[in-house]
Amino acid sequence: MTRNLHRALLACSRPEPWKRGPVLTALALLLGLLLLLHATITDFAGLGSLVESVLPWLGLFIPVLLATALRRRSLSAVTALLLPAVVWASLFGGLLHDKSHPGGDLTVAAHNVGAANPDPTGTARTLAASDADLLALEELTPQAAPLYEKTLAKTYPYHAIRGTVGLWSKLPLSGTRTIDIMNYGPLAATKSAAAKLPENRALHTTVATPRGPLAVYVAHLGSVRLLPRTGFWTTSRNIGAAALSRAITTERNPRVILLADLNGTLDDRAFTDLRTHLHSTQTASGTGFGFTWPTAFPVARIDQILYRGLTADHSWTLPETGSDHLPVAARLSW
């Protein structure tokens, strides 16, 4: 009798399912608001860019919170989790299914080959085997560049190198010039922060295709750093993004391809202008997120193939080389 009375008292003292887990409910709502309003987060010390760089991974908190809410039998927390689940699905759900389709007039590939790559010749052979019509390489060194030239010469009769970036092509090139992505008027005051970076990290060229001229940009934006005192340092990368966006905005050719190591994901606010003028082959014709860095356990797609005036038919990553980046490839049609 006493035991039954004790159980009854415990049952009465427990909060109702809708009142259980207030902390879990608050965390679920906070996660949803973070995903929904990420663009409004301050970029002081690079906080906004840092959050947007890992934005897809925030979805991992949803099943963790759900499992905890179910264990606590918190209906309020389970209901609150609908917000982050719906927002995450609207942001990234479209990336999960296969969007590729047959066709394609042009195959392109891009790869940050890595300055510390121990086997440039092997990397060049792997890339040549992709049968890409256009092959962009970033982070070329004076020592490795001749090896890439020699190994790729048979497959690609045309090529152009400007500083640390280069383009190899099966089609004729013309009007190749350097794009200075380290000088941009509105950001000139911050130039000193990136003064040590070479200015020849991007090029523009015109490819003569059977369907007409194609403007191609190859770029390697400045690196980002997570520093103890200044936070997420993105100054040089942001300068390059602004300058590159300006060049593409003023490009007269309606057909453009950008092959680049952006050192940031397209979710990052630094690439808002680029997203306005160019489309992502991975978003349009890939499967999944297509993460490219680091090779050992890719967590971000910072290597991109962007385009306009064409149709993306398929996007994928190539096998790893001696670099810490995975190569990316895409098939496009007129």
Instruction: Establish if 6 belongs to a structural domain.
Output: no
Is the same domain home to 163 and 59?
Answer: no
Q: Residue 288 belongs to what domain range?
A: 106-333
Instruction: Establish if 212 belongs to a structural domain.
Output: yes
Chosen domain end from 47, 71, 95? 95
Instruction: Establish if 5 belongs to a structural domain.
Output: no
Is the same domain home to 316 and 189?
Answer: yes
Tens place of pLDDT per residue across the chain (334 aa):
555 545 544 444 455 655 678 999 999 999 999 999 999 999 999 999 999 999 999 999 999 999 999 999 999 999 999 999 999 999 999 999 999 999 899 999 999 999 999 999 999 999 999 999 999 999 999 999 999 999 999 999 999 999 999 999 999 999 999 999 876 555 454 544 444 555 689 999 999 999 999 999 999 999 999 998 889 999 999 999 999 999 999 999 999 999 999 999 999 999 999 999 999 999 999 999 999 999 999 999 999 999 999 999 999 999 999 999 999 999 999 9
Chosen domain end from 95, 114, 136? 95
Is the same domain home to 91 and 112?
Answer: no
Is the same domain home to 318 and 199?
Answer: yes
Q: Is 218 helix (H, G, I), strand (E, B) or coil?
A: strand
Instruction: Establish if 100 belongs to a structural domain.
Output: no
Nearest-CA neighbor of 306 among 188, 243, 216?
216
Instruction: Establish if 320 belongs to a structural domain.
Output: yes
Domain containing residue 300: CATH number: 3.60.10.10
Is the same domain home to 129 and 272?
Answer: yes
The model's pTM: 0.90
Nearest-CA neighbor of 160 among 222, 220, 244, 216?
216
Q: CA 48, CA 59: separation in Å to the nearest integer?
A: 17
Is the same domain home to 182 and 220?
Answer: yes
Total structural domains in the chain?
Answer: 2
Is the same domain home to 76 and 111?
Answer: no
Chosen domain end from 95, 123, 141? 95
Instruction: Establish if 302 belongs to a structural domain.
Output: yes
Return the ∠ at Cα 149 (arms to 208 and 328), rounded to 5°: 65
Provide the token pair at 291: 């993460």
Instruction: Establish if 30 belongs to a structural domain.
Output: yes
- Name residues whose C-beta falls within 8 Å of residue 307's C-beta, 6 or more positions apart in sequence: 256, 257, 258, 278, 279, 281, 330, 332
Is the same domain home to 128 and 147?
Answer: yes
Is the same domain home to 121 and 27?
Answer: no
